[in-house]
Amino acid sequence: MNVYPLILAGGEFRSPLEEIVGKPVSLLPVANASTLVELWGDRIQRAFTSETRIAMLFGSSSEFQAMESLGDDPRFTRHIDPRPNRGTGGVIADHWKTLSADTRRSDYILAIDRSACPPISLDSFASALEGGADVVIGTSDFDRLAGIIAIKSGILEFVPEVGYFDLKEQALRAGLDAGLKVIAVPVIPKAIHLKTIGNWISMVRFFAKHAGDDDPRMNIRGSCIDPDADIRTASIIDSVVMKNAVVHDDVVVARSVVCEGTVIPRGTRVIDSIVGGASVNHLPGSSREAR
């Protein structure tokens, strides 16, 4: 099955979480040293035989530049939306027209929400495409949208040349009215979108539980700790510790994020907080400030 993978990486506004941490949501770590976008790259390459690189589509040059670290990654290509403010349907249709004829012979366009949690595997989703449905929508076990959808390029014929046009609410509705086949496939137990610290921690716990990454000493549980972080003998519970952070002895970090290069002094308790980054946000429950 030949697919054209496309991550809708742009957004009209940066989320508060991105403003605080100082990184695009796609570059936030969610499983040890792996970022959200890297996990999507891994899942796509494992499930599909297509050698097409994963396109990341941004709404502005500033978003494009913020993801400069992917410039040398052979799995990805970066593109700027040729006509902003067109809605997801319009964005995909406009981008599709810029591609080579050979690329546009792909069986499906695989569109992914930049904030969506990758499933452990996309094998069931890839198998569903073999049935030839015009649209295949990834869902959670509770029928929530999981942030991944595969469409045949014919769907884009419903998108007008001018104006805002949403993919799910308008393009797919037009396809259904025209009698096209649309199916839903559960791909993940719970749909998570990385937009808040709570969502981030939930995503980290999901991958840590699946990987069995909890420390046998039980002072590290459900967390994402960068290999270049120094956590001494600290207790890290349901948290993220980013690159080059130093967490001294007798520290407890729970349901929190320690941003890059942040130093947490000995004896500190960091609870329900984001510490460091572009700015500092202490959520209710932080028992002691750490900078």
Query: H/E/C letters for each residue in the chain?
Result: CCEEEEEECCCCCCCHHHHHHCCCHHHCEEECCEEHHHHHHHHHHHHCCCCCCEEEEECCHHHHHHCHHHCCCCCEEEEECCCCCCHHHHHHHHHHHCCCCCHHHCCEEEEEECCECCCCCCHHHHHHHCCCCCEEEEEECCCCEEEEEEECHHHHHHCCCCCCCCHHHHHHHHHHHCCCCEEEEEEECCCCECCCHHHHHHHHHHHHHHHCCCCCCCCEECCEECCCCECCCCEEECCEECCCCEECCCCEEECCEECCCCEECCCCEEECEEECCCCCEECCCCCCCCC
pLDDT tens for each residue of 223-267: 999 999 999 999 999 999 999 999 999 999 999 999 999 999 999
For 249, the token pair is 């002895």
Q: Is the pLDDT of residue 282 over 50?
A: no
Q: What percent of the chain is modeled with pLDDT above 70? A: 91
Q: In sequence order, what are the residues at sequence separation of 6 or more whose Cβ sits closer than 8 angstroms to the Cβ of residue 216? A: none
Average pLDDT value for residue range 156-161: 94
Q: CA 258, 260, 262, 266 torsion: positive or negative?
A: positive
- For position 16, what pLDDT does the model report? 84
How far is the C-alpha of 281 from the C-alpha of 283, rounded, in Å? 6
Average pLDDT value for residue range 193-208: 94
- For position 284, what pLDDT does the model report? 37
How far is the C-alpha of 171 from the C-alpha of 152, rounded, in Å? 12
Strand partners, 56: 7, 78
More confident residue, 22 or 128: 128
- For position 287, what pLDDT does the model report? 39
Q: Is the pLDDT of residue 277 over 80?
A: no
For 226, the token pair is 């960068």
Residue 145's closest CA among 175, 165, 166? 166
- For position 70, what pLDDT does the model report? 83
- For position 161, what pLDDT does the model report? 92
As a whole number of Å, the end-to-end CA separation of the chain is 50
- For position 280, what pLDDT does the model report? 45
How many beta carbons lie within 10 A of that of residue 218, not counting itself? 9
Question: Domain extents for the chain?
Answer: 3-188, 215-282
- For position 11, what pLDDT does the model report? 62
- For position 15, what pLDDT does the model report? 79
How far is the C-alpha of 283 from the C-alpha of 204, rounded, in Å? 19
Q: Is the pLDDT of residue 20 over 70?
A: yes
Q: Are 1 and 181 in contact (CB under 8 A)?
A: no
Average pLDDT value for residue range 48-72: 83
Lowest mean pLDDT among 105-114, 132-141, 203-212, 243-252: 203-212
More confident residue, 51 or 77: 77
How far is the C-alpha of 61 from the C-alpha of 229, rounded, in Å? 31
How far is the C-alpha of 84 from the C-alpha of 69, rounded, in Å? 23
Q: In sequence order, what are the residues at sequence separation of 6 or more whose Cβ sits closer than 8 angstroms to the Cβ of residue 284? A: 272
- For position 215, what pLDDT does the model report? 57
Tell me how many degrees the CA angle 108-114-120 measures, rounded to the nearest 5: 75
pTM confidence score: 0.89
- For position 214, what pLDDT does the model report? 60
Average pLDDT value for residue range 191-206: 95
Specify the CATH architecture of the domain 3-188: Alpha-Beta Complex (3.90)
Q: What percent of the chain is modeled with pLDDT above 90? A: 71
- For position 12, what pLDDT does the model report? 58
How many beta carbons lie within 10 A of that of residue 211, not counting itself? 11
Q: Which of the four pLDDT bands, split at 50, 70 and 90, describes residue 278?
A: low
